[in-house]
Amino acid sequence: MSIKSVAAKLFAKKIYKETQAWAKNPVATQNKVLQKLIKEAKGTQFGIDHHFNTIKSSSDFSRSALTNLTVILSPNRNCFLETLPIKAYFLSS
């Protein structure tokens, strides 16, 4: 077996284990991703405007100012026209 084959198998095994770890815990994984996104965006103007610094959990997120999402674009696709309530966010099937 060549060095490339051994390295590829070891890499594939590592990726498989990582995938299984998050697949077995989807809610924890989603919360981790949410926290990462909030942390990265908290210093942006959007994060400041929507008080990302106060969001510590998915419950905080659902109660925050982000319960509305701008969804309808203007005909020229450069600006948003209407804000509609979010029905659900990051749910697993």
Counting the structural domains of the chain, the total is 1
pLDDT score of 75 more than 80: no
Find the distance separating the first CA and the last CA of the chain, reported in whole Å: 41
**41 domain residue, yes or no:** yes
Tokens of 59: 């419950």
pLDDT at site 74 = 47
**92 domain residue, yes or no:** no
**12 domain residue, yes or no:** yes
Which residue segment(s) compose the domain that 40 sits in?
3-85
| Burial environment of residue 44 by CB neighbours within 10 A (0 to 12, 13 to 18, 19 or more) | exposed
> Mean pLDDT throughout 61-73?
57
**90 domain residue, yes or no:** no
pLDDT at site 62 = 74
pLDDT score of 57 more than 60: yes
pLDDT score of 13 more than 80: yes
